[in-house]
Amino acid sequence: MENKSVTKPARRAYPACCNIFEGDGTIILELEMPGVTKDNLEIKINDDLLIIHGIKNTHAKENGTFLIREIRDADYHHEFTIDRTIDRNKIDAALDKGMLTLTLHIKESEKPRKINVVTA
């Protein structure tokens, strides 16, 4: 009998559903990442790429076995291209009940400003 190796298939990465909107001097990203904890979440910037990766694990309890398993482990992955107007040192992240909120601050030098007109 020939020796066969079995490899575990790679987990599928799902894009996290998101909303993006503009606030007062900020860009807000909201991403649905159900089952992802802070410990299983990675957010990083590589040049102009904002990379978000979260892992949801639904492993069985130590003393139990699944009888039905419809909720699967999953990876969430999303990438956004950010331009030069975003301050890369001023990005805030909050995770609450499966919703990740990122606040990207626009550089002060890039914010629109009002120019006052005076009469001569």
Boundaries of every domain in the chain:
13-59+66-108
pLDDT of residue 11: 61
Predicted TM-score (pTM) of the model is: 0.76
Going by C-beta distance under 8 Å and a sequence separation of 6 or more, which residues neighbour residue 113?
Answer: none
Average of per-residue pLDDT values in the chain: 84
CA distance 120 to 107: 33
Q: What is the pLDDT of residue 8?
A: 41
pLDDT of the residue at 23: 87
Pick the CATH number of 13-59+66-108 from 2.40.50.100, 2.60.40.10, 3.40.50.80, 2.60.40.790: 2.60.40.790
Q: Which amino acid appears at position 29 of this protein?
A: L
Q: What is the pLDDT of residues 81-109, one digit of tens each?
A: 999 999 999 999 999 999 999 999 998 87
Distance CA 57, CA 106 (A): 35
Sheet holding 13-14, edge to edge: 13-14, 74-81, 49-56, 36-46
Q: At 7, is the pLDDT very low, low, confident or very high (cuts 50, 70, 90)?
A: very low
User: Does the pLDDT of residue 5 top 80, yes or no?
Assistant: no
Instruction: Please tell me the distance from the alpha carbon of residue 21 to that of residue 13, in angstroms, as a whole number.
Output: 24
More confident position, 7 or 107: 107
